Amino acid sequence: MSRTLPALPSHPALACALTVALATQACAQDFNEAPPNAPDQQPAFPEQTRAPVIDDPVALSRETVAEGLSHPWGMDQLPDGRWLVTERPGRLRIVSADGTLSDPIAGLPDVDSRRQGGLLDVTIREDFDETRRVWWSFAEPRDGGKTGTAVATGVLSPDDTQLEDVEVIFHQEPAWDSTAHYGSRLVFSPDGALFVTTGERFGPRDLAQDVTTHLGKVLRLSPEGGPAEGNPDIDGGRPEIWSYGHRNLQSAAIGPDGALWTVEHGPQGGDELNRPEPGRNYGWPVISYGETYSGAPVGEGLTAKDGMEQPVYYWDPVIAPSGMALYEGDVFPEWQGSFLIGGLASKALVRLTLEDGRVTGEARHLQDEARIRDVDVANDGSVMVLTDADNGALWRLTPSD
């Protein structure tokens, strides 16, 4: 079982010398024993929720690569092994192997960092060494105090100090007087298109069903801006839309089948793992597992309806999902082909195994250690974790000897 550790001592150079061994065997933990928020709801098929707990004996060694990050949100590894890391107040930094934090990189557009906004995800492509091009998402300030999810791209200068030729390639429409539910994960598909996830901005949740808006959608863009070729033709819909009827998508990764997989925040219960198909409707807020924060049903309390897709898997109680990665490294052979998902409310690294497109097991590591905001797999096969806090950290996970 996971055990609670004492607070990590700070280091003035933010160096990565501190390593802590965690006994994180995911045995018969109590996460499948917690009462659901909506006990009268039933899954549509076996193991759509509360899959068997994986007998996972792996113990983890946790190395603190960097600390002192202000609410870090997204990361991606550069070819030389360093990490691009975003901080929600609007700073993009480079973290070196020795834990050194760069000064904030100049040239980014202004962000609105109220509540759930700020500088969010960041990603590069495999051709970074040739192009030095970076993509990032952020909460964009608009007229009248409104905001919208936006995506920009720019070229990192040779000295790593600024982004040049910056262009905002996507502006969520409509803007909204809300500081919540931006979604905002960025994932390149194998065919080179850029998937962008958005939230429904919380208040106008019904617009997740309105295909004339970008709210509560998976979007598929050209990396230069505009819709990617091959998007579905949705009657009356915006050409960038891949799928719709989502609540707040904050987890996304390409799965072992080469397709996009996502996890979205539910209300009080009802976090969903989906494999979004082109043109499909994923139901929010018409169908949902879980209930509203007041304890009332979501809409009519439906969990299924013709023309709306069922989630591959759901959680009630929620894990409050964030970053997500497919494990394909050699460091954790037992984890090969598993999804690793950051949990905010659950304060856990959630591992899912899959077979034939269904979840077959779930394990949780780092239980109660920290709110996990992002997860990635390093080039060497170790697992990287960002913690969500005013004094956030970048951790490297490897098996304990």
Residue-level pLDDT at 320: 98
Whether residue 69 is contained in a domain is answered as: yes
Active-site position among 11, 71, 171, 181? 181
Whether residue 4 is contained in a domain is answered as: no
Tell me, yes or no, if 171 is annotated catalytic: no
Residue-level pLDDT at 15: 39
Residue count of the chain: 401
C-alpha 282/C-alpha 279 separation (Å) is 10
Whether residue 10 is contained in a domain is answered as: no
| CATH number for the domain harbouring residue 286 | 2.120.10.30
Whether residue 88 is contained in a domain is answered as: yes
Residues 109, 174 contacting (CB under 8 angstroms): no
Residue-level pLDDT at 208: 98
Is the peptide bond preceding residue 35 cis, with omega within 30 degrees of 0?
no
Amino acid sitting at position 121: D
- Structural domain harbouring 96: 19-399
Amino acid sitting at position 386: L
Number of domains in the chain: 1
> Radius of gyration (Cα) for the chain, nearest Å?
20
Whether residue 7 is contained in a domain is answered as: no
Q: How much helix, strand and coil, in percent to the nearest 5, is found in the chain?
A: 5, 40, 55
- Nearest 5°: the CA angle 326, 332, 335 is 50
Whether residue 342 is contained in a domain is answered as: yes
Which pTM value belongs to this model?
A: 0.94
The token duo for 5 is 């550790």
Residues 401, 64 contacting (CB under 8 angstroms): no
Whether residue 3 is contained in a domain is answered as: no
What torsion do the CA atoms of 233, 236, 237, 242 make, to the nearest 10 degrees?
A: -30
- Nearest 5°: the CA angle 25, 27, 30 is 120
Residue-level pLDDT at 30: 77
Q: Residue 232 CB: number of other CB atoms within 10 A?
A: 14
Q: Which parts of the chain sit beneath pLDDT 50?
A: 1-17, 23-28
Whether residue 12 is contained in a domain is answered as: no
